Chains A and B, each alone.
Chain A
Amino acid sequence: MSTSEEKTKEVSANADSDSGGAIILFFIIGFVASLIAGWIIFPKLLYCQKKQPIDFNHVLHMEEVDDGCESCHFFREDGTYAGVPKLEQCVGCHEEAVGEDPEEVKFVNEYVAKEREVPWLIYSKQPDCVFFSHAAHVKTAGMDCVTCHGPIGESTSLKVYEENWITGYSRDIWGQNMSGLKEHAWDRMKMDDCAECHVKNNVKQTSVQTKKGACFVCHK
């Protein structure tokens, strides 16, 4: 009996260590798989890659204009910000193609000739519930464009626009880094990033319009 009992124990001990190994192994498989899914697959699935309708060379244009970014991205007379230029501004120079770049030819033929606005995809577009005034930041606070938008003026072509399937906004709002860490001020454009700067610079913590604080500074 005793031998058979010992045998049984041994078998069960073997089985235990066997099953223990399997448990750890499966834990690790599950753990690693979900980390891969969360860090690599999920971001790929969350964003769809879109190409801008026309590739645009900022460097080339910066050489031509006198007034830097504001030459095309200007403030209107009433103080509102024009954002991405409309066809109206482009035709000033591009009534006809001025160079031989196929992108420019495409722009002239597809949009200028047909008087169609270019459906630019806007990397920095914020949800409609956010109130943001360029005038307050640029004109009043004297900030430069790079602080929030990065060195776009130094780019020779437009990067891929990564559109969030759920929200429809660009990946540039959350930032390339999925963990939310940033190296430069322009890496992210989330609420916390606005708040961080407002706190650091001791900006008046109430809304100009409503005189209310906290959320109401940006969410009117």
Chain B
Amino acid sequence: MKIDRRSFLSFIIGGAAGTALSPLPAKLTDDLSIWTQNWPWTPVPEDGEAIYADSVCTLCPGGCGISVRKIDDRAIKIEGMKGHPVNDGGICILGLSGLQLLYGPTRVKTPLKKTSNGGWKKISWDEAIAEVAENLGKLRSEGQPQALACISGSDQGTVPQLFRRFMTAYGSPNYMCVPSSQDSYSITLKLMQGAQASAGFDIENADFVLSLGSGIIEGWGSPVCMFKANSACEAKKGKVVQIEPRLSNTAAKADQWIPINPGTEGDLALGLAHLIIKDDLYDKDFVGNNTFGFDDWTDDKGKSCQGFRQFVLENYGPEKVAETTGIDADTLTSLAKSFASASNPVAICGRGQGKRPGSIHEFIAVHALNALKGSINRKGGVWAVPEPNYISWAEPETDAVAQKGLQTPRIDGAGTEKYPYTKSLLNRFAEVVGSEGESPVKMLFVSGANPCFTLPDTGAVKAAFENIPLVVSFSSYMDETAKAADLILPNHVFLERYEDVPPPAGVNKNVIGLSKPVVDPQFDTKHAGDAIISVAKALKGSVGSAFAWDSYEACLQETMGDKWDSLNEKGFVVPDTAPACEKTYTTPSGKFEFFAAGYEQVTIEGDEKWYPLILMPYDSMRLSSGFIGNPPFMTKTVEDTVLKGNDIVVEVNPLTVRESSALFVKDGDYAILSTPKGKATVRVHLSEGIMPGIVAMPTGLGHTAYDEYLAGKGTNFNELIGPVEDPASGLDAAWGIRAKLANIAS
């Protein structure tokens, strides 16, 4: 028998035939398909008994109740809490993605200290607290307690107040908060109604909503509450008119979208007031009985002053306003008629999500419109919601060093004669600290804020941070500010900690919530409240004795007093007091006061000659533009007309390109966007939904820190804009900046 090549082939054929008749091919195919459909490295939620832990979301000031579904110790999903007075089962996209902020890779897992080569060294909590206390002690012994500054994400609630208390006991007046349109509204209420309050809007019960750029369904105020209110208003056949230069989601869903020349919203409000007064359509009862300054009046010295009526009749005629705002006179007339003929109309402002403060004159003009129709503290109107008063700690005792420090003027000039009602002016921070030379701030605490991303002119802010000898961040995440800090004392994330939740922003609901730990802390983190108490105790003396509590939880429990039990049980309490201030008007006249002078437009930065276009930001529910960065789930939902790959996309009207002699781009092309503050390479999306001459850019992109899922995507709008001081409040009133789009040199 001869074995040759053919025998070998025959063996192979026999083998193939045998294999085909065996279960191997079918079974292997089946197994491989199961394997590829269930990649072993894809995480699968645990199976087991589901339990729900209720808490309150603190990712934004919305104050929504949440129910977290858990299997054993693992949180599986965040859902809206049914029956909660703010969101009643609803939840926003950020809240839904919140688990990625708990389990994601961006967390700071232990206290960190920056090394000399810019890296990070893990240190223990004892070392971290001791280091902070030592540096604080040194500053105090040098008699410079005022050189400590603090940036807090909010002014309300026990944690911000503990920081404020620490600053007072330590001896520094330089406690600053991240501003928002709520600050502008508070000043407006103070000026016109004398109220120390925040503004709450009863959109749900309004039958005509005149929104001057407020993104009612873009995250303005308390997002989920506003979504529901907007739907409720629509369901009752209420009308929403959106006035802004861009076709935002709110504009698209509104009954009418009227594009307006940006920055002229105040003029529009006064123009409408003119038409309403001229046709005698205002609420005469309300204006006659509850207001002051409507008609001409004589002051104490016998000097006659012009009233609001005469002022707007003289200065804001429809032709003039039509020219300023770009809205034709007929539209103005019909808008004024619709507003005036509605039974519960309300006018609101604060652009986009209302994260940026604005011109007080604009806010006053819009609020005057509400007063003309009596929509103040009534169903469907604007409510002056008193600031929460549940924190009633005794003032800390201060020693001589602290007293001396507290007498030094604030570095930002807030609360001075020029800006008496402004609490802090964070927009001046970069300028005051400067990028070189000796900084008036030697040590800085940052809690619940990411100023190195959210403040305008981010470049200057970062440079200022570098000029501060010691920056201590209390962030849970490796955000831009934490990255720029020298020490990080990581806080628990919102699902791991106790915290009181003050009444939500922009809502006329007096709800106090309690955020509770849903899971045990995952890493070696510490509650910021505990951290600041520990630092104070380490300092001893009067600072230490100002913090008599053993822990933050003890402090919170004591603060809440008899509310604690029901807060713990239900997650929220609704105080008996009405949402409005007890005494409605505490102005000098005891009435609502109209202002009849000095309405100015805010001039944005940049020379029209060099920068023919205007760059404006826009906010979106799919992009978290505040202290919290976008979790990956959220970024997944961003359209490619906003972010394409890693490129940011700006919206430009086709006419802008057609009329420009220097710009030749098609949809999707790259271009260079420059402003007096900076430059960025962008892609252009040609859209009819933006007024000609304007470039609209999404906010919340362009992170340089966090993790690989967020860093390096797009450009941060704040790098291209600088602050413009509002003449009345000192707050940032920039609504845009002059800009230029140019082709990329080929």
Contact = CB atoms under 8 A, between A and B. Distances in A.
B50 A78 contact: yes
A24 B18 CA distance: 14
A98 interface: no
Interface stretch (A59-67, A173-181, A196-204): A173-181
B23 A23 contact: no
Interface stretch (B7-15, B189-197, B730-738): B7-15
Contacts of A179: 23
B14 A166 contact: no
A127 B37 contact: yes
A26 interface: yes
Nearest to A35: B18
Interface of A: 15, 18-19, 21-35, 37-39, 42-43, 46, 76, 78, 80, 82-83, 86, 127-129, 164, 166-169, 174, 178-180
B51 to A, nearest CB: 10
A140 B16 CA distance: 48
A80 B17 CA distance: 48
Given A27-B14, A174-B30, A34 B8 contact: no
B10 A24 contact: yes
A26 to B, nearest CB: 4
B235 interface: no
Contacts of A29: 11, 14
A26 B7 contact: yes
B123 interface: no
Determine the interface band of chain B, counting residues with CB < 8 A from chain A.
35 or more
Contacts of B19: 34, 37-38
A23 B13 CA distance: 10
Contacts of A24: 10
A167 B21 CA distance: 23
B634 to A, nearest CB: 23
B597 interface: no
Chain A interface helix/strand/loop/mixed = helix
A166 to B, nearest CB: 4
B183 to A, nearest CB: 46
B662 interface: no
Given A31-B18, A127-B34, A38 B24 contact: yes
A180 B49 contact: no
A22 B22 contact: no
A166 B32 contact: yes
B6, B28, B31, B50, most chain A CB atoms within 10 A: B31
Of A19, A32, A38, most buried by chain B (CB within 10 Å of CB) is A38
A25 B3 CA distance: 10
Nearest to A28: B14
Interface string B44-72: 10011110000000000000000000000
Given A22-B3, A26-B14, A42-B23, 17 more contacts: A21-B1, A22-B1, A24-B10, A26-B8, A27-B11, A27-B13, A30-B16, A31-B14, A31-B18, A34-B14, A34-B19, A37-B18, A37-B22, A78-B50, A127-B37, A166-B28, A174-B30
The B interface is mostly helix, strand or loop, or mixed, namely helix
B32 to A, nearest CB: 7
Given A26-B11, A167-B35, A128 B44 contact: yes
Contacts of B1: 18-19, 21-22, 25
B9 to A, nearest CB: 8
27 contacts: A15-B2, A19-B1, A19-B2, A19-B4, A21-B1, A22-B3, A26-B8, A28-B14, A30-B11, A30-B14, A31-B18, A33-B15, A34-B14, A35-B18, A37-B24, A38-B18, A42-B24, A76-B49, A78-B50, A80-B49, A80-B50, A166-B32, A166-B35, A168-B40, A169-B34, A174-B30, A180-B23
A86 B46 CA distance: 14
Contacts of A43: 23
B4 to A, nearest CB: 6
Contacts of A15: 2
A113 to B, nearest CB: 20
Contact of B38 (A32, A46, A128): A128
Contacts of B12: 30
B37 A30 contact: no
A166 B31 contact: yes
B301 interface: no
A166 B89 CA distance: 42
Contacts of A25: 1, 7
A136 B41 CA distance: 31
B49 to A, nearest CB: 6
A26 B4 CA distance: 11
Interface of B: 1-4, 6-8, 10-19, 21-24, 26-28, 30-32, 34-35, 37-38, 40, 44, 47-50
Given A80-B49, A167-B31, A27 B23 contact: no
Tell which of A30, A78, A83, A129 has the most Cβ of chain B within 10 Å.
Answer: A30
A37 B30 CA distance: 18
A24 B6 CA distance: 10
Nearest to B3: A22
B574 to A, nearest CB: 29
Nearest to B34: A167
A19 B24 CA distance: 31
A25 B30 CA distance: 33
Contact of B18 (A22, A34, A80, A86): A34
Nearest to B14: A30
A39 to B, nearest CB: 5
A46 B18 CA distance: 18
Contacts of A174: 27, 30
Nearest to A117: B72
Contacts of B21: 35, 38
B22 A19 contact: no
Contacts of B47: 83
A129 B31 contact: no
Nearest to A127: B38
B194 to A, nearest CB: 53
Nearest to B33: A167
B34 A30 contact: no
A76 B48 CA distance: 10
B23 A30 contact: no
A39 B4 contact: no
B21 to A, nearest CB: 6
Contacts of B28: 166
B50 A35 contact: no
A129 B37 contact: yes
Contacts of B34: 127, 166-167, 169
A166 B6 CA distance: 36
A30 B7 CA distance: 10
B179 to A, nearest CB: 46
Contact of A82 (B3, B23, B40, B49): B49
A44 B40 CA distance: 22
Contact of B7 (A22, A37, A42, A180): A22
A157 to B, nearest CB: 26
A27 B10 contact: yes
Contacts of B22: 34-35, 37-39, 42
A34 B15 contact: yes
B2 A22 contact: yes
B31 A32 contact: no
Contacts of B14: 26-34
A35 B18 CA distance: 5
A24 B17 CA distance: 13
A17 to B, nearest CB: 10
Nearest to A40: B22
Nearest to B18: A34
Contact of A34 (B7, B16, B32): B16
Sorted nearest first, the 9 A-B pairs with minimum C-beta distance are: A38-B22, A30-B14, A34-B18, A30-B15, A27-B14, A31-B14, A30-B11, A26-B11, A178-B23
A23 B6 contact: yes
A141 B179 CA distance: 60
B10 A30 contact: yes
Contacts of B17: 27, 30-31, 34
A46 B35 contact: no
Contacts of A28: 14
